A and B are shown apart, each in its own frame.
Chain A
Amino acid sequence: MIVKPFGKIVDVLQQDIVPENKYQNWMELQKHLFERFPELKNEHYLVAINHKIISEKENPDLQSGDEIALLPPFSGG
């Protein structure tokens, strides 16, 4: 399992994160990320699991090979 931060979220996570423990679902993993990176709570981002964007209330189960992308809005032009 790997968590890939994009945009401003890279400032918080610094790099791709490979969680050591197994997390049953996205909410559990997000809770772990909030504990490890408290600043993440202040950020706004969409979540894509295996390239599929989930809505804020979805909480899909995670598998060992899953790739989770955290993509914030960009505004520059």
Chain B
Amino acid sequence: MGRYQRQIQLSDFGQKAQNKISQSKVLVIGAGGLGCPVIMSLTAMGVGHIGIMDGDIVEITNLHRQYLYTEKDLNKLKTVVALQRLGEMNSEVHLESFPFFATAENLFSVIQNFDIIIDGTDQIPTRYLINDVCCVLKKPLVYGSVFRHEGQVSVFNVVQDGILSTNYRDLFPFPEKTQNTLSCNEAGVTGILPNLIGGFMANEAVKLITGVGKPLINKVLYYNSKTNFQSILQVSKNPENTYIFDKEVLEIYGEKIFCNPLEVEDINQILTHLKDKNQHVLVDVREENERPILPFGIKIPLNQLSEKINTLEKFNTLVFICQSGVRSAKALEWAQNNLSDTNVYHYKYGAAHFIKYCTHGN
């Protein structure tokens, strides 16, 4: 009897599904509360190649929910411990470690070698980053997250009948609004919940690999461990999600995009602010001779802002822009000190980027 006999003997699974599993390559980002049950399940089931990405070490507060680690592993890199233990569980699996945190600089090169990506991280900016990179590279993404006694699971970015399914930005299009979301460190979590949610996530990955079952594509599963209430919500393409997925922009600005909405705006936020031309205006603070010329907005060089304050006061929202984001940041600082009743932003990427990605008319 082979080690996978009990799943192969399922009539709708069989050797065919097992072969697909043994040929699959899955990257798990985050080897914590969600990542541990995922990598343990996928290793046991015989996934051919598992990548584990995490720059963290094992801490005492991890042990109540991260069952892969023991007291002997404290202060060791999670990837080092995981590789050793998973290798003992199943020597047939090719395990590869990426002992660092996900960043815009490293994610593209790592993700492109895998078929399915699993997000078990615990920070909102990283979740947007992983989502965005998967959208650029068109990689299916299994998403899971927890809050106290509750969890969410979904599958993003799967091509079905030639159409790409929904992604995280269809649920929450505006990163700046999600900034106050609490992680487990702040909100607390029981030991069992992430293992349940991680189990759901591994299950979704196996469904994607084998084609057996219906993955949560265009759906979000909600689960509450206190009441056992669960609900599946239908997700549609969100018209508010007009984000332009772009490798170059992500590699340059990456997760910094989400740090401070006043300092960095994406094109779509800019366009939202500029919808009402009488109330909102794009203010180009470059000198007269600088190019490219912007298709709309007003021009006031940085050193003339004070004398043109009467013009600026007429608007309730100003978005400053310059060549590279330096002068617009200074303009933002000036406006924060001098225009207390005005909403002020600056566009960090500069005029050339704005022109390149501004496909909306105005």
Contact = CB atoms under 8 A, between A and B. Distances in A.
Interface in B180-202: 180-184, 187, 189, 194
A56 interface: yes
Nearest to B201: A77
A52 interface: yes
Given A6-B222, A55-B238, A57-B240, A74 B145 contact: yes
B120 A53 contact: no
Interface string B110-135: 00000000011111100100000000
Given A53-B233, A53-B236, A77 B147 contact: no
A61 to B, nearest CB: 18
Interface stretch (A19-27, A29-37, A43-51): A43-51
B143 to A, nearest CB: 10
B122 A76 contact: yes
A75 B35 CA distance: 14
A69 B231 contact: yes
Interface string A49-77: 00111011100000000000101111111
In this complex, the interface size class of chain B, counting residues with CB under 8 Å from chain A, is 35 or more
Interface stretch (B170-178, B277-285, B298-306, B313-321): B170-178
Interface in B83-135: 119-124, 127
Nearest to B187: A76
B147 A74 contact: yes
Interface in B185-240: 187, 189, 194, 220, 222, 224, 231-236, 238-240
Contacts of B32: 77
B150 A74 contact: yes
A8 B30 contact: no
Contacts, number: 98
A8 B171 contact: no
A38 interface: no
B150 A75 contact: no
B152 interface: yes
B144 to A, nearest CB: 7
Given A6-B222, A51-B231, A55-B239, A73 B120 contact: no
Contacts of A44: 172, 174, 177-178, 180-181
A14 to B, nearest CB: 15
A69 B180 CA distance: 20
A6 B150 contact: yes
In this complex, the interface size class of chain A, counting residues with CB under 8 Å from chain B, is 20 to 34
Contacts of A72: 147, 181
A73 B150 contact: no
A76 B183 contact: yes
Contacts of B172: 44, 46, 73
B34 interface: yes
B51 interface: no
B232 A75 contact: no
Contact of A73 (B178, B224, B236): B178
B158 interface: no
Contacts of B152: 71, 74
A7 B235 CA distance: 18
B46 interface: no
Interface of A: 6-8, 44, 46, 48, 51-53, 55-57, 69, 71-77
20 contacts: A8-B181, A44-B177, A46-B171, A51-B231, A52-B234, A56-B240, A57-B239, A69-B233, A73-B172, A74-B146, A74-B147, A74-B151, A74-B152, A75-B122, A75-B147, A75-B182, A76-B183, A76-B184, A77-B35, A77-B119
State the 9 A-B residue pairs at the shortest beta-carbon distance, nearest first.
A77-B122, A76-B184, A74-B147, A74-B145, A76-B146, A44-B177, A75-B181, A77-B34, A48-B233
